[in-house]
Amino acid sequence: MSAGTTSSTSTPEVTASGSRVAPEREALLAGLAMMVRIRSFEDRVQREFARGEMPGFVHTYHGAEAIAAGVCAHLSDADLITSTHRGHGHCIAKGCDLDGMVAELYGRETGLCAGRGGSMHIADFSRGMLGANAIVGGGISLANGAALAADVLGDGRVAVAFFGDGAANQGIFHESLNLAAIWRLPAIFVCENNGWAESTPVSYSTSVADISARGAAYGIPGVTVAGEDYEAVYRAAGEAVRRARAGEGPTLLEVKVARIRGHYIGDHQQYRPRDERQEARGRDPVALLAERLDEDVAPYRAAVAGEIDAAFETGPQGAWPDAATVERDVYAPDPPGPEPPAAAPGAEREITFLEAVNEALNQAMEADETVITLGEDIAGGAGLGEKHEGAMGGTFGATRGLLATFGPARVRDTPISEAGFVGAATGAALAGLRPVADVMWASFMPYCFDQVFNQAAKMRYMFGGQATVPLVLRMAVGAGLRAAGQHSDTLYQVFAGVPGLKVVVPSTPADAKGLLLRAIRDDNPVLFLEHMGLYRSKGLVAADPYEIALGRAACARPGDDVSLVAVGECTLRALDAAEQLATDGISAEVIDVRTIAPLDAEGICASVARTGRAVVVEESPRRGGLAAEIAAVITENTFAALSHPVARVTAANSPVPFSPPLEDAWLPAAADIVAAARAMD
């Protein structure tokens, strides 16, 4: 058996007890000290939580101490970990500051995450601790991405994902193991199997007796060790880390532990048999290691008591965050330039929208070797040799030629695993790369929305400004190509409302190039939405690289009587409408919004304040839509100047239909815009 071993079968390289070299007593004593440090901290958390002054709720690491201690003993500050809602042990073992941890548990400005995260979202990037994660399985793909960054940069780092038995039944676990296996990433997947996913026993929820057996499904070693045995964990982790550093690929390490306490502090565990709980108490890794080493735990506790007392003395006394800072750190600051907004430099040629996107990708990758591209079919024919590799170049051809120019390390086809590779791109962005992931169609975004909504978009804020997520997700949007319900959404109304995301919707080839180059250099997650109806459209585009600032609308046609405020491809329909209105003697100004988050409220409102009339045009369903948001912004800011209520021209409140007459009726049309503007006379 070459891979996927469990406790009952083993390979020569990795055995159930890991490395065959027994650790020195010193290493075991250090492990005991770390475990006692974690236990003492958690005992104190339990006590203080009961008093009622710690907000929210807390999950303690009682019983699992050997895992964090035994794994992190092999890591340096440069190595990266992702953690879970039960993350205090990982923090402490990775060297996080106890004062900062306690202050965070009390929601103070002095906390590791400035009180924005709390126990379930605690992080310390200076120690390579990329965050606890309250989405079960949420950290797995992020660690994968950190490992991808280490692999691309060749810097020798490894990444560890800690997660529970419950996470092994999430799709992201499976997508991530497969991805790590095919790319041989320096990743270690540590499953902390405590027998319970909250109140559901693993015996019920999970199809295999050993979760490590699932390594075999992905062709990677799977190992199970007992978590009450520190030495077993230490040795198995040592081997997994060695493999990762040596380029031998990922390992799935399952550690079976006893959940000595409840799921959260205060859980009265009526779902749990009393004898099973008593049995769990007998599997205390701290007591068992102390006994084995013939050490008294009391001096170890005494050694950390002062530090813990001090942390619990100062932590709750830290200042509360200032309420005025509630929106701080949602976004990273803009990078320098382009100042003044760049006029397109160099010679202009007429090229298509698609060619402009392709040119921007080429120029970004040429300028910065931390820029990588990944996604489904962005090259094609992966692994099949020169004649086939790269022959696809993206579903629409936007990534054509990149593989030949930049090579397979930086231009990566992915399996059809949107959550897996978007999560990996997010993790890679945290660890030194500027990934541009191709999600193909916006309609596929719901498949990876946890990675986007809960992870990429929230990280900077939740971690008190520590995280920088320079990530671009490109995707095709829009109806009109008879692609019907699941290949036509714009999802403008969904994306624009997510704090932490920037959302760019270009309408011309020149804007596509300049906005994409800017988006790649932005330090925030940016969704770059390319309307399919525009891909073949042509326009003049400068050959040299240039950037266009995000968050600024453009005037596509000046006018005096009415402002047509349009998003993306609707700008073309608005220009059509303006032409028709001109024949009636109505002078329409067309504002191309260009980025829907952040929205250029000032630019839009300046136009409307002058014309006194506004028609908002965009291609998402009317209900709860983007047009309603833009109309509200206009009304709030220019009410006195308005001669008529703001009108909306949107898509219908239905999925996109297939039949041509239905799809045409679904779309906002130039005639609708003309009618709305005429009604304001």
Q: Which stretch, 44-52, 386-394, 550-558, 584-592, contacts another protein (CB under 8 A)?
A: 44-52
Q: Enter the tokens of residue 650.
A: 């949107």
**579: contact with another protein by CB under 8 A:** no
Question: Which one among 10, 57, 97, 401 touches another protein, defined by CB under 8 A?
Answer: 57
Residues 407-436 as x/- pattern, contact with another protein by CB under 8 A: ------------------------------
Question: Which one among 29, 30, 46, 537 touches another protein, defined by CB under 8 A?
Answer: 46
Q: Which helix (H) or strand (E) holds 413?
A: strand 411-413
Q: Which stretch, 42-50, 67-75, 80-88, 207-215, contacts another protein (CB under 8 A)?
A: 42-50
What is the residue-wise DSSP string for 533-550? GGTT-EEEEESS-----T
Q: Which stretch, 126-134, 149-157, 251-259, 273-281, contacts another protein (CB under 8 A)?
A: 273-281
Rounded CA separation 604/633 (Å): 9
**662: contact with another protein by CB under 8 A:** no
CA 600 to chain CA centroid, Å, is 25
Q: Return all residues near 3 (Cβ < 8 A) that are at least 6 apart.
A: 11, 215, 216, 219, 220, 221, 222
DSSP 597: E
Q: Considering 388, 487, 531, 644, which one is annotated as catalytic?
A: 487
Question: Which one among 281, 292, 349, 388 touches another protein, defined by CB under 8 A?
Answer: 281
Residues 206-265 that bind another protein (CB under 8 A): 264-265
- Kindly state the smallest distance separating residue 50's Cβ from another protein, in Å: 3
**47: contact with another protein by CB under 8 A:** yes
Q: Which stretch, 2-10, 54-62, 140-148, 457-465, contacts another protein (CB under 8 A)?
A: 54-62
DSSP 451: I
**Residue closer to another protein (CB basis): 309 or 560:** 309
- Cβ atoms of 493 and 445 within 8 Å: the answer is no
**102: contact with another protein by CB under 8 A:** no
Rounded CA separation 32/44 (Å): 18
CA distances (Å), 85 to each of 102, 136, 201, 263, in order?
A: 15, 8, 18, 10
Q: Return all residues near 169 (Cβ < 8 A) that are at least 6 apart.
A: 197, 205, 206
**268: contact with another protein by CB under 8 A:** yes
Rounded CA separation 95/514 (Å): 43
**Residue closer to another protein (CB basis): 281 or 536:** 281
Question: Which one among 51, 204, 336, 407 touches another protein, defined by CB under 8 A?
Answer: 51
- Kindly state the smallest distance separating residue 49's Cβ from another protein, in Å: 6
Contacts with another protein: how many residues (CB under 8 A)?
19
- Kindly state the smallest distance separating residue 315's Cβ from another protein, in Å: 17
Q: Enter the tokens of residue 543.
A: 């050959």
- Kindly state the smallest distance separating residue 266's Cβ from another protein, in Å: 3
**Residue closer to another protein (CB basis): 49 or 666:** 49
**52: contact with another protein by CB under 8 A:** yes
Q: Which stretch, 275-283, 336-344, 572-580, 642-650, contacts another protein (CB under 8 A)?
A: 275-283
Q: Return all residues near 518 (Cβ < 8 A) that are at least 6 apart.
A: 338, 547, 548, 549, 550
**297: contact with another protein by CB under 8 A:** no
Hey, is 510 helix, strand or coil? helix
Rounded CA separation 470/632 (Å): 30
Q: Which stretch, 50-58, 83-91, 293-301, 485-493, contacts another protein (CB under 8 A)?
A: 50-58
The torsion defined by the Cα of 308, 312, 315 and 316, in degrees rounded to 10, comes to 170
- Kindly state the smallest distance separating residue 129's Cβ from another protein, in Å: 26
CA atoms 628, 631, 633, 635: torsion sign: negative
- Kindly state the smallest distance separating residue 64's Cβ from another protein, in Å: 17
Which amino acid, residue 631?
A: A
For residue 333, count other CB atoms closer than 10 A to its CB. Answer: 9
**Residue closer to another protein (CB basis): 50 or 303:** 50
- Kindly state the smallest distance separating residue 43's Cβ from another protein, in Å: 7
- Kindly state the smallest distance separating residue 263's Cβ from another protein, in Å: 10
Rounded CA separation 556/417 (Å): 39
- Cβ atoms of 127 and 96 within 8 Å: the answer is yes
- Cβ atoms of 231 and 188 within 8 Å: the answer is no
CA atoms 179, 180, 181, 184: torsion sign: positive
- Kindly state the smallest distance separating residue 574's Cβ from another protein, in Å: 49
- Kindly state the smallest distance separating residue 197's Cβ from another protein, in Å: 18
Question: Which one among 2, 207, 278, 583 touches another protein, defined by CB under 8 A?
Answer: 278
**276: contact with another protein by CB under 8 A:** no
Rounded CA separation 40/60 (Å): 11
Rounded CA separation 475/501 (Å): 15
Question: Which one among 242, 277, 301, 644 touches another protein, defined by CB under 8 A?
Answer: 277
**266: contact with another protein by CB under 8 A:** yes
Residue 531 among the catalytic residues: no
Tokens 């092994």 sit on residue: 168
Residues in contact with another protein by the rule CB under 8 A: 43, 46-47, 49-54, 56-57, 264-268, 277-278, 281
Q: Would you name the residues annotated as active-site residues?
A: 487
